[in-house]
Structure 1
């Protein structure tokens, strides 16, 4: 279950959304060209802009958003948790079994102990098909894992610095009266992702952040298309 917060012209409206409705919102957002990002707590942020044209007033571009926040936020993943969730995701026949009157998650050739099973259930990371009795990862778990695989950051610009000793041209003229006392200013910043697929360079840190945001939105769109069956225009 998710807490749904809608930002609109009148302010904010809050409500709840089950997994089915949250999946629908994500598919619709992608079809309509909205931007979507997965959050590391297991939710998602949908954003878009609208233009207003009022008589005798300048047109304005206003931000709109839908935030989906899981009722039980996902905390930091450990390597063991990632491995356990990967096992469940890769096993179509994963199910609950009772061993000595304690519930365990059972795969074809593996079994998760009771305390691990209880932890995954309590955190809402696995859900059971009521008819087939098969386990799968919840939408919360999949969104959190997506955000966990794509942790972006930007590097700090070099700022004011002295050119390298062997740079005969970088400091040319900088020591003249009124100049910068031999210093150069570097504003370049790189955007990187833990997935290793993003290595973009921006003229400044704001531009690098835009590269990082675009990457997170791109992987979220790919996830919604592949995992939730969205169809883009």
Structure 2
């Protein structure tokens, strides 16, 4: 379950969202080209922009909208062992519960997860059972994705003394504040733990934008590939999904 916060034209509305409802929201947001970012607790932020009529005649203004999904049970720390177990479950379409000595375990074709670990995964809401099979919860999927794509930006170099042979070494000789003869470097690099982002921005704000665009692209690709339901199943029993994304 998720705590759902919708920012709309009349303020904000808070409520709860089931995993099915949250999945449909993400799938529809991806199809409409809305920005999606996943969060480390296993939630997501959906943002988009609407253009509505303003107070003046024939005035159109930009209106930002958003939906925040916060899991009631955050994924917590995803250690190497936990991620290895989740990878086993996600990679085996035959994973299911089995009983051993009166306790529940998760079994695949050639592997098993002990009872204690199985209980921990269930208590943390990382696994769910669907049609007799064990699979990762939406919270686990989003938390793993956020963990795999942790971005950072480097601190700009700032003011520095030019090195020997620097063609700009004589620049700024009259700068006040003890900065005479110094050069300023405001560039910042944006990198991601996945290794798929290594970009350079003219300043840190631009580097943060590059990092944000990378996270959004990864999230959109994941939703399109993993969460988009097959034809005929793009419907949620709550009946609110479409309304949430058009408020």
CA distance in 2, matches of 1:86, 1:173: 55
Q: Residue in 2 aligned with 1:134?
A: 133
Matches within 5 A, 1:88-167: 88-129=89-130, 131=131, 133-167=132-166
The answer on whether the counterparts of 2:35 and 2:48 sit within 8 Å (CA) in structure 1 is yes
Question: CA–CA distance in 2 between the matches of 1:200 and 1:138?
Answer: 33
Q: Is the 8 A contact 2:50 2:63 kept in 1?
A: yes
User: Structure 1 residue 95: deviation in Å?
Assistant: 1.1
User: Using the alignment, how far apart are the partners of 2:215 and 2:96 within structure 1?
Assistant: 32
How far does residue 171 in structure 1 lie from its aligned partner after superposition? Answer: 1.3
Instruction: Output the TM-score relative to the length of structure 2.
Output: 0.87
Larger deviation: 47-56 or 26-35?
47-56
User: Alignment RMSD, CA only?
Assistant: 1.8
Q: Return structure 1 stretches of 4+ with deviation > 6 angstroms.
A: none
In structure 2, do the counterparts of structure 1 residues 97 and 177 end up closer, same or farther at CA, with 3 Å as the change threshold?
A: closer
The 8 Å contact of residues 31 and 230 in structure 1, kept in 2 or not, is answered as no
How many residue pairs match? The answer is: 228
Match 1:174 to one of 169, 172, 178: 172
Structure 2 equivalent of residue 9 of structure 1 = 9
- Taking a change above 3 Å as real, the CA distance of residues 172 and 32 of structure 1, as seen in their structure-2 partners, is same
Q: Which residue matches 1:228? A: 227
Q: Report deviation, 1:152.
A: 0.5
* Contact 2:175 2:181 (C-alpha < 8 Å) held by counterparts: no
Q: Report if aligned partners of 2:171, 2:182 keep a CA contact under 8 Å in 1.
A: no
Structure 1 residue 8, shift from structure 2 partner: 0.8
- 1:30 positional shift: 1.4
Distance 1:113 1:182, change over 3 A: same
Write out per-residue CA displacement over residues 182-212 of structure 1, whole angstroms, 9 at most, x where no aligned residue: 1111100011000101011110000000000
Q: Which runs of 5+ in 1 are unaligned?
A: none
Q: Distance in 1 between matches of 2:55 and 2:90?
A: 55
The residue that corresponds to 1:219 in the other structure is 218
Q: Distance in 2 between matches of 1:230 and 1:163?
A: 57
SS in 2 for 1:60: strand
Does the residue aligned with 1:147 lie in a helix, a strand or coil? Answer: helix
Higher mean alpha-carbon deviation, 11-20 vs 176-185, is at: 176-185
Contact 1:224–1:230, Cα closer than 8 Å, also in 2: no
Identify the residue that residue 67 of structure 1 maps to in structure 2: 68
> In 2, are the aligned partners of 1:30 and 1:230 still within 8 Å (CA)?
no
